[in-house]
Amino acid sequence: MKYNKSSNIIKGNSKIQAGETNDCSVRAFATALDVTYDAAHQFVKETYDRVDKKGCEKMVKRTNKLEGKVLEIENTKFSLSPLNKSLITNEYKLKGEVIERKKTVKSFLKDFGAGIYLVMVSGHVFTVKDGTMIDNAGEEWRPTRKVEDVFQVTFKNILEQLELNLG
């Protein structure tokens, strides 16, 4: 299982980050999109009505409402699309009966080696980028958490964004 600490990935220095808690949603957007913590913090505050030092409430419901919209953080345009529930479940045979169960984080990482995803587990969200889990320190030891929902991140106007970042 490949893993990186979100604090090693987030761009720039932030005075806000030092005093924050319950900020997994901010870290997930910052690492998924390669934007600064402060920009992701502002986006989550405005888009999800996040209160400082508190987590996001109803994040799945609110993210579902963003489907089909072009969003932007620091000139990075993107969209979010929910993965079909059938893609985040595994089928098992138990006494001849087929049973569906939620994928574990480890199973999700194995099956989704390409792309960028916001992965939601009970009360928490983190980034999976090209098969690597990017999360808070210590979370790498919890590979059996059940995946509740997943949103794929798709960049818009990628050539234009590359020129901006290189220029």
If we measure between CA atoms, which residue out of 116, 115, 135 comes closest to residue 23?
Answer: 135
DSSP letter at 88 equals G
Angle (CA) 145-52-13 rounded to 5° is: 85
pTM of the full structure: 0.90
* 14: number of Cβ within 10 Å: 18
* 140: number of Cβ within 10 Å: 15
pLDDT tens, position by position, 59-114? 999 999 999 999 999 999 999 999 999 999 999 888 999 999 999 999 999 999 99
pLDDT tens, position by position, 105-131? 999 999 999 999 999 999 999 999 999
8 Å CB contact between 127 and 119: yes
**Exposed (0-12), middle (13-18) or buried (19+): which is 103, by Cβ within 10 Å?**
buried
Q: Which distant-in-sequence residues (6+ apart) come within 8 Å of 70 by Cβ?
A: 77, 78, 79, 156
DSSP letter at 123 equals T
